[in-house]
Amino acid sequence: MQDELSEVIGAPIRVDAPLAEYTSFRIGGPARYLCIVRDAEKACRALTTARAKDLPCMLLGHGSNVLFPDGGYDGLVVSYQADRIEVHGGRIWAEGGAATMDLVTTAARHGLAGLSFAAGIPGTVGGAISGNAGAYGRAVGDLLVEAVLVSADGAKRRRATAAELDLAYRSSGLRKTGELVESVTLGLEQGDQTSEWTEIEEILAHRASRLPPPELPSAGSFFRNLPPPEPGAQRVPAGKLLDECGCRGLRVGDAAVYEGHANIVVNLGRATAREVLRLAEEMQRRVRERFGVQLRPEVRIVTRTR
């Protein structure tokens, strides 16, 4: 099967690839098959081939917001890494596999304003659209002009506007359809290059002061912030509730709540997905019993095991 998949897709296929190597959490068992594709055509062939062979298939970007199970994934994991970025006037076009941070810096180099809030957000452009990534009250989806999407079976392409993607807080309709974000076009405004770089540097410094160092792998904020208590108000940070429940420093095995931020779970070295989920359940329990609300994961939790 390995050679057959590789020949049809036109990309090398890894067998029993440790998914921990492909996620920022550094957690996850082996994928039955894994391939890295660097253009949309190969991605389409991977999806159609998996469908034809009745092989479960999952798309993966940089793995910055995902938790794979300890048992791995019983199917084909397709890592889409097409990463071209182009600027056309006030619009910036990018392939779905481009790093979100590369998009931010490209916009700044061309003096385009409106995207600096995304500085430091990990992952790919496709993942940012799929999860409507954002910070400081703004989201990438707010800037979306058009996305080119490939169906989950690789058979169809379509163009969609932001209004057609059911964009919401940290989610979109793409989570349900499983479509691949082949490319996106964002609409920005002409700004001052110096001001943009200054804002980017300030945001990166602020994030660095709150987030774990590289030697503590994580997937960023584990739970979504809560809806505003009233119209016009800001969302209630999940980290604030977790902090008030004494969650900092909680630990299950090698999975622990980061001492510097109560809504971030870190891998102390050999954490398993099971340990992370047990820890997350305890965090949810504490908030539920004290505040009467159920926290919802922001991290994508994969359940298909081998």
Q: Which residues are catalytic?
A: 170, 221, 298
Structure tokens at 48: 């159609």
In the chain, the amino acid numbered 257 is: V
Give dist(CA 240, CA 276) in Å, integer.
20
Structure tokens at 243: 């902090």
Length of the chain counted residue by residue: 306
Of the candidates 135, 161, 139, 166, the residue with the CA atom closest to the CA atom of residue 149: 161
* Cross-strand pairs, 91: 88, 187
CB 141 within 8 A of CB 184: no
Give dist(CA 118, CA 131) in Å, integer.
13
Q: How many CA atoms lie within 13 A of 210 on its CB side?
A: 14
Of the candidates 92, 105, 104, 157, the residue with the CA atom closest to the CA atom of residue 133: 104
Please provide residue 158's backbone torsions phi and psi, each rounded to the nearest 5 degrees. Answer: -150, 155
Residues 6+ apart with CB under 8 A from 260: 210, 211, 212, 248
Which three-class secondary structure state does DSSP give residue 190?
A: strand
